[in-house]
């Protein structure tokens, strides 16, 4: 895992009134499928780099969270990439379980069809059974 990151080359965003957040895209290291988009503050990004486990910043709970701390569906970060503008970061991850808290392998389980969102991937667990 990387031991440091040039934060001066990254752009932060203000999301839901919370300043200093980086946009993080989680991608399956093997299949290359996009799993989720979330945010991380500097501390969450540093924890990710230190531990090799994906950490994010929850804008609803206003705190850092280790992916999988409730569900056990952790993400081990194999590689960190930064886009050309410094405004998005990719965590290439190996997963221990599905990424989506709604019970799907990816948070991108719906497709736009004729102005309607349609589920296009199988649900692999019922969230009521996992988040009690």
To the question of pTM greater than 0.85 for the whole model, the response is yes
2 located within any domain: no
87 located within any domain: yes
Number of domains in the chain: 1
- Whether residue 14 contacts residue 80, with contact meaning beta carbons closer than 8 Å, is answered with no
More confident residue, 6 or 51: 51
Does the pLDDT at position 18 exceed 70?
Answer: yes
51 located within any domain: yes
Does the pLDDT at position 33 exceed 90?
Answer: yes
32 located within any domain: yes
Q: What is the CATH number of the domain that holds 43?
A: 3.10.20.810
39 located within any domain: yes
- Whether residue 89 contacts residue 80, with contact meaning beta carbons closer than 8 Å, is answered with yes
Q: Domain range spanning residue 16?
A: 7-99
- What's the rounded Cα separation, in Å, for the pair 33 and 71? 21
Q: What integer is the mean pLDDT of 90-112?
A: 93
108 located within any domain: no
Q: What integer is the mean pLDDT of 27-32?
A: 96
């Amino acid at each position: 895992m990387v031991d440091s990151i040039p934060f001066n080359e990254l752009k932060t965003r203000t999301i839901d009134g919370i300043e200093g957040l980086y946009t993080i895209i989680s991608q399956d290291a093997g299949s290359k499928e996009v799993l989720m988009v979330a945010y991380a503050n500097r501390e969450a990004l540093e924890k990710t780099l230190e531990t090799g486990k994906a950490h994010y910043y929850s804008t609803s709970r206003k705190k850092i969270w280790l992916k999988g701390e409730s569900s056990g569906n952790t993400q081990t970060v194999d590689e960190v990439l930064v886009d050309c503008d410094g405004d998005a970061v990719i965590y290439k991850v190996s997963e221990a379980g599905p990424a989506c808290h709604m019970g799907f392998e990816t948070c991108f389980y719906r497709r736009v069809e004729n102005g309607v969102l349609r589920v296009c991937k199988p649900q692999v667990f019922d969230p009521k059974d996992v988040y009690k």
